[in-house]
Structure 1
Amino acid sequence: MYNRKQLLYLREQQLKEVEYQNQLLQKELEKQKSIETERERISHDMHDDLGAGISALKLQAEFLKQKAENDDLQHDIDELLKTSEEMNLSMREMLWSLNSGNDTLGSFIDYAIQYADNFLRKTKIKLWSESEDIVYDTPVSTEMRRNMFLCLKEALNNAYKHSQSDQLKLSFIQKNKEFIMKISDNGIGIKNENSEGNGLRNMKRRMQEQNGECQVLSEGSGTEIIFNILL
């Protein structure tokens, strides 16, 4: 009877522990749901209010440009239009980051290629992209998606400013739980004294924060930047 009571007591304790763990899990799920709801609310508010304001500002500037006769004034209005377009692009990036529906590997890759294509469209650099063994519905965290995108932006900006290249290749590779993003150009490479500029340090720091790795290969002509991260 003593052994039975002890066994019964242990089972009751196990049930209580399981119930407690379920309660913690339920609270965490509710917390995540409330965070996603708030992200969607902010996203909608930004799109409706800020987006409409930027569009109205752009229309007014274009109307003023048609009426302006002074060259200096037209130049100032062109600068205003350029700023409004940059604000519009920044807002779209924030909306993409906030939208939890984009927390998949496929969404990140599609947006990365779209951004790179738009960024390089007005330059002499021709873009190539490839994907290898990508499972497009693989879930990724919002933080990882955001940091990978910021690394991509920095790498593209560096290639445009410093590489003197005319071709750039964007590669995405998935190996089980490892995701690899490569940005390769056919430019002049990176000199040793400039190999640790602020841009490269920022990319390495972002990858370290995500328990990932950033490698820069620049031997001879061209530069290849490789980002590795665990999904």
Structure 2
Amino acid sequence: MTKKPSYEELEKRVRELEKEAVDRKRIEEELRIKDSAIASAIDGIALADLEGNITYVNDAALKMWGGDDPSEVLGMSALDLAQSREEAEEIHRVVLEKGGWSGEMAGFRKDGSTIKIHFSASLVRNEQGEPICLMDSFIDITERKKMEEELLIKDRAIASSLQGFAITDLEGNIIYINDAAARMWGTDDPSEILGRSALELAQSHEEAVKVLHEILENGSWEGEIAGKKKDGSLIIIRFSSSIVYNDKDEPICIVDSFVDITERKRAEEALKKSEAELRQLSSRLLQAHEEESRRIGQELHDGLAQSMVAIKVWVEAALLNVRQENPAGVAKSLETVVPLAQGAVEEVRRIARNLRPSTLDDLGILATISWLCQEFERMYPGIGIEKQIEIQENDVPDSLKIVIFRILQESLNNIAKHSQATLVRLSLKETDSNIELTIDDNGAGFDMDHVLSGELSERGLGLASMKERAELPGGSFSLVSQKGAGTTVCASWPIH
């Protein structure tokens, strides 16, 4: 017969049942709260059986997938939602073996589009330690990864750009430069310049400070500025700078972009100088043309015209003697006319030779050079000429003959007027690819910078004229001179 419990035992049992009911209610409330928390979590949360078949998804997970009803995805294999089935199977194996896995992976949405997630999976065990299911949580990082990829592309584009890029703090201290900027400065290692003040790299610290103030005040600046390279040499850059602001519209740094225009500026300066020289040369050439016309006119007036007047007078005298039937007077008049006419002919020939020697057309450049040298030595007996001709007449193009003659003529005139030389060495030869003319003297020489700078002097005009003559047919011209060391003129033309 079973013993009836005592009142105390019954009271104790009631209290135990009441406690169990309270504990159960508390646990149920905690589970309800956890279920609500999981269901309303921003992160996607899913449960799957040990084979990976989905048994639960919260609203966030369903939304990430692109579904409207959990039934659309329940029962599906989570492995089928991965972009790479092989990768998903490997993650599933690791979770079962090691109890968890975390990392980034790519999957498919309901519409087939790609989604990238940060994924954490863990093995859920019961009180006995036995695995009962899988719990997954994930965050949609598709947009973040897209932004990262875009930033990476931009970063690589900036890093590999031929244009220089730099980032500085608001005080002008360099915190980033790309490879092009480093090369412009003269280094292959950007770390050599990081941390330095960009103001130190400007040729004018005062100008750099002014530019920085304008950037900070106006938000940007653009223009040309001169700087110093690592080796101290000059660099001129086209510089654009602007302030970078954060989401709160607060300035955080300065970004600079620049292009090396040093060679372009040098070319512009050379072009300006060349244009100025060309204007001076044109002016002097017009002046020289007028002077030459006046000289020729003077020679015709003083020489040929006088001879013709004398011839006219004696011819008239001869005619008068004819009318007076004075044969002796006629003979005397005509005898006087003959040398006058001969002198006039010689005067015409001399003027013609100065304008263009007939030997150039009749006998060629080699004979003309010999004639010019003989005339020079006759006029300036204190200056000797050593000739070295190593070319055949037929090897000199007709178009170059007058060019060679005029350069030689101008060089000899300069030597006679300015050099105080006693010896001239003349060389005209043919190499494998060029025709080369060299005129070298042992005279006093001159300061090239002084003669070639400023307005063109008479000598400067002659040099400019020779250079232009040499270069017009596609040749090159060089002149080397030093005080006390003579002068060397060299012109060269390619053989076509």
Q: TM-score, normalised by structure 1?
A: 0.56
- 1:84/1:157 CA distance change after superposition, 3 Å: farther
Give 1:158 deviation, angstroms.
0.4
For 1:187, the aligned partner's letter is G
Structure 1, gaps ≥5 residues long: 1-52, 65-81
- Please state if 1:145 is matched with 2:401: yes
- 1:131/1:139 CA distance change after superposition, 3 Å: closer
What number of residue pairs does the alignment pair up?
151
Q: 2:461 aligns with which of 198, 219, 222?
A: 198
- Structure having the higher strand fraction is 2
Structure with higher Rg: it is 2
Provide Cα deviations, 1:118-145, integer angstroms capped at 9, x if missing partner: 123221111111123x23322512x321
- Please state if 1:129 is matched with 2:387: yes
Provide Cα deviations, 1:161-212, integer angstroms capped at 9, x if missing partner: 0001111111111113411111111001122311460000000011111111
Q: 2:478 aligns with which of 207, 215, 221?
A: 215
Could you tell me which residue of structure 1 aligns to residue 428 of structure 2?
172
Do the aligned residues in 1 keep the contact of 2:357 with 2:368 (CA within 8 Å)? no
Distance 1:83 1:202 in 2: 32
Provide Cα deviations, 1:55-93, integer angstroms capped at 9, x if missing partner: x949x69xx9xxxxxxxxxxxxxxxxx998675234133
Do the aligned residues in 2 keep the contact of 1:109 with 1:172 (CA within 8 Å)? no
For 1:224, the aligned partner's letter is T
For 1:122, the aligned partner's letter is M
Identity %: 25
Do the aligned residues in 1 keep the contact of 2:429 with 2:436 (CA within 8 Å)? yes
Provide Cα deviations, 1:10-64, integer angstroms capped at 9, x if missing partner: xxxxxxxxxxxxxxxxxxxxxxxxxxxxxxxxxxxxxxxxxxx96x949x69xx9
Could you tell me which residue of structure 1 aligns to residue 489 of structure 2?
225
Distance 1:203 1:118 in 2: 21
For 2:413, the aligned partner's letter is N
Could you tell me which residue of structure 2 aligns to residue 16 of structure 1?
none
- Structure having the higher helix fraction is 1
Structure 2, gaps ≥5 residues long: 1-302, 315-342, 454-459
Could you tell me which residue of structure 1 aligns to residue 444 of structure 2?
188
Do the aligned residues in 1 keep the contact of 2:365 with 2:393 (CA within 8 Å)? no
Distance 2:443 2:346 in 1: 29
Distance 1:217 1:211 in 2: 20
Root-mean-square deviation over aligned CA pairs: 3.2
- 1:130/1:194 CA distance change after superposition, 3 Å: same
**Counterparts in 2 of 1:19-38, with a 5 A limit?**
none
- 1:84/1:169 CA distance change after superposition, 3 Å: farther
Q: TM-score, normalised by structure 2?
A: 0.28
For 2:385, the aligned partner's letter is L
Instruction: Please give the secondary structure, in 1, of the residue aligned with 2:372.
Output: helix
